Amino acid sequence: MGESILIEALGVPVVLDTTGTTDAEASAVRAAWRDAVVSDRARSGSSAEEVVILVREAGDESDLPQLLERLSQRVTLVAITTQRGRLWMLHAAGLALPDGRVLVLVGPSGRGKTTASRVLGAQLGYVSDETVAIDRDGRVYPYRKPLSIIEGGAYPKAQRSPAELGLAGLPDAPLQLAAIVLLDRRPDAADEPVIETLDLGDALEELVSQTSFLPDLDRPLQQLAAHVSAVGGVRRVVYSEATALSRIVENLVASGAEMPWHPAADGMLSVPVPRASAGYARTPIIDAVALTDPDRIAILQTDAEGEGEGAVQMLAGIAPALWRAASGAPFGDLVDAAIDAYGAPDDGAAGAAVRGAVDELVAAGLVRETVEQAWCIRDDVAWLDSGDRIAVLSLAAPDAQTRILEGSAGLIWRALADDPSDGTAAVIVTRVADAAGIDADGISRDVEAFLIDLRDSGFVSER
The pLDDT confidence band at residue 302, using thresholds 50, 70 and 90, is: confident
Of 370, 395, 418, the position where a domain reaches its end is: 370
Q: Bridge partners of 279?
A: 370
**Statement to judge: residues 226 and 342 lie in one domain:** no
* Of 152-156, 212-216, 309-313, 457-461, the least confident: 152-156
Neighbour tally for 405: CB within 10 Å: 20
Q: 127-167 pLDDT, tens per residue?
A: 999 899 999 999 999 999 999 888 877 778 889 999 999 99
Same domain, 421 and 331: no
277 pLDDT tier (thresholds 50, 70, 90): low
Does the pLDDT at position 418 exceed 60? yes
Specify the DSSP class assigned to residue 258.
Answer: P
280 and 397 in a common domain: no
* pLDDT tens profile 217-229: 999 999 999 999 9
- Is the pLDDT at 305 greater than 90? The verdict is no
| % of the chain residues with pLDDT over 90 | 53
Do 102 and 89 have their domain in common? yes
User: Which pLDDT value is given to residue 401?
Assistant: 85
Together in a domain, 246 and 335: no
Same domain, 14 and 95: yes
pLDDT at 331: 85
The percent of residues in the chain predicted with pLDDT above 70, rounded, is 92
Judge residue 263's burial from the number of C-beta atoms within 10 Å of its C-beta, 0-12 exposed, 13-18 middle, 19 or more buried. middle
Say yes or no: 161 and 212 in one domain. Answer: yes
Crossing angle, helix 408-418 and helix 444-456, to 10 degrees? 80
Domain with 312, as residue range(s), is 262-370
pLDDT band at 307 (very low <50, low <70, confident <90, very high): low
Lowest mean pLDDT among 48-57, 112-121, 278-287, 441-450: 441-450
Of the candidates 370, 397, 425, which is a domain's last residue? 370
Relative orientation angle of helices 331-342 and 350-363, to the nearest 10 degrees: 110
Q: Are residues 195 and 333 in the same domain?
A: no
Tally of domains in the chain: 3
Q: What is the pTM of this model?
A: 0.76
pLDDT of residue 263: 78
CA-closest candidate to residue 18, choices 31, 30, 35 = 30
In a shared domain, residues 364 and 411: no
At 252 the pLDDT is: 87
pLDDT-derived band at 350 (thresholds 50, 70, 90) equals: confident
Rounded to the nearest 5°, which phi and psi values hold at 130? -125, -55
- Above 80 in pLDDT, residue 372? no
User: 7-65 pLDDT, tens per residue?
Assistant: 999 999 999 999 889 999 999 999 999 999 987 655 565 666 789 999 988 777 789 99
Count of residues for the chain?
463
The pLDDT of residue 1 is 45
Same-domain check for residues 233 and 152:
yes
Among 221, 253, 285, give the residue marking a domain's end: 253
The 3-class SS string of 392-407 reads EEECCCCCCCCEEEEC
* Cα(231)–Cα(227) distance, integer angstroms: 6
